[in-house]
Structure 1
Amino acid sequence: MTTIPEIARAAGVSTATVDRVLNRRTPVRESTSRRVLDAAFSLGYVTSSDVERLSESEPLTLAFLLPRGTNPYLALVNHRAHAFVERNRRDARVKSYFIDGFDPDELARSIRHFARRADGVIFMAIDHPKVRAATDEIVASGKQAITFISDISTSRRHAYVGIDNFAAGRTAALILGRFNGGREGRVALIAASRIYRAHMEREVGFLGLVEERFPGLSVSATREGHDDRDENYQHTRRLLDKHPDIIGLYNVGGSSDGIGRALRESGRAQDITFVGHGLTRDTRAMLADGTMDAVITQDPDALFEAAVLAATKGTPPVVTAELYLSENMPPE
């Protein structure tokens, strides 16, 4: 009768590796698993149906961490992520968890906590030393770490999935400047928080292009609205009251509906060029009624597919930014 040590010798691996493959205890590299199964089959230890069953990889379990709050785009991403996995993939299971997205301590704790339960963690990164340390720890323990929408610097994370945010900020500045047709005036920025590298890169890109191409535009100091519609509303009301010369607004983050509400109440929605991020039901409505002029977005299906591929295959496809105006919105 064939023994485990015989299979190990034939496959050129340890007996522990043979045990892991045949009993599916922990993940084994695909090429190694194939050698073990081929050896076990040739020695008569398993049947062809056993080989087929054992060749099917266990679904990867992924924890998906998103900031809690009123950002409609992140809610849409969460909904579409689960629908995509159910519809398209058998090699990944996803559970979402909403956390305080502006607290590096909570994010670091959550990364460590959920990595103990899952094979990998997908998270919208805060570029902070505590988050970098937590990321490096879970990678060292053999878990996947994928940053999503906003990246993290100098860490061992496996991949970043999202658009080029510096280019997105420059695109927003180009649209805003061109739509204003050379008028001089003030433009204002509202971000969630600069602790998100994505928002910082968008702001830097925006400011750089304004300085290069539109010297007649002055830029007010960026307000941080924490992707909260009520905070964004209050910031916009104060900006409009303080600066009657505002001709443009760029929402670097989400929850644009709060900004739109303030613009409509002021009676200046049709006079101020408004560019934001995330094509959702609220931004669609604002594009349609003219409150918003342009929306830069990332397709939720493409975004999450790239994240799952990064976790399961190691190489995510490039996620490109999409630009929508009132006349080219896709079907909902």
Structure 2
Amino acid sequence: MTNIVQQIRNADRILLSTHRQCDGDGLGAELALYYALKKMKKNVQIVNVDGTPRKYRFLGTEKIIALFQNNPVMDLRADLCLIFDTNDERLLEPLFSGLKKSVKKILFIDHHPLLQNGPQPSKDSMIDIAAASTGEMAYAIIKELGVEFDEDIARSLYTSITFDTQLYRYVRNSSRSHEIAAELLRYNIQPEEVHRALFGNQTVQKMAFLAKALGQIEYFCHGQLAVLRLRDADLIAHHLEPDDARDVIDMVMNIESLEAAVMFREDAVDEYKLSIRSKGKLEVRTLAETLGGGGHAFSSGAFIKGKYGDLKEQIVSDLTQKISRIA
């Protein structure tokens, strides 16, 4: 971390970013650093690949974040770029290709394990797989920089940590997330507002979508494996955006008999965002990596292409074999 802090102090112009289809962890972390660097009088800008899901509007991102998809010829020249919540450059394309040409130094700040077979981050990047969220890492950097916390920084970090720990359910057997959250609550943020925005504001259309989607779950391995397909046409028909489907697999994982669940979210014809979850006996990251993705040992994903039937058969076959070995 000392090296990243020194790189920040030495840089005049700094860009911040996160993976495409951003979530609360990467978004909150980059916003917190943005506010901190502004207080240091740095020339700082957030540039994300694509749009911010509407549930994060309470963070006031509209005037802060530039979208590469809206201006692919934007000036990306900078001394330093910090990328949050991924160490896989492929998840920032086509933005990353532009960054490589224009930025002097690119560093990743992430809590996911490095890919066994895939792009590797620069050696000075900050990778901490013990951290429950990237927000915790951003918190540590801001502390090391000596920037005084305020409401904006605290709200951004609280959002990051709360989102990725799923309301503090997944804290890596550590008190760290709770300790940081307790400190952040001193800065006049409203935790109920954050919780409601992240997990509580479900629309009537979302409920109707869920009713249809959950009714189409397929079960394998005597109810130990669930497979769910979310169609793009159904999202559109219910006036939903892709991020509205992000939490569906977590609902499925509440089924008592399951060891694992797989969700295919259709993004285009024969293109899917794959999510794989396990309750802890089944390691799923290796499977995700073979499909060009990655993630955590028990929570991984990938962007994949192909016919749904073929993809499902391949993944179900792999997971069925693994489940049979733990039975």
Shared fold by TM > 0.5? no
With the length of structure 1 as denominator, give the TM-score of the two structures. 0.27
With the length of structure 2 as denominator, give the TM-score of the two structures. 0.28
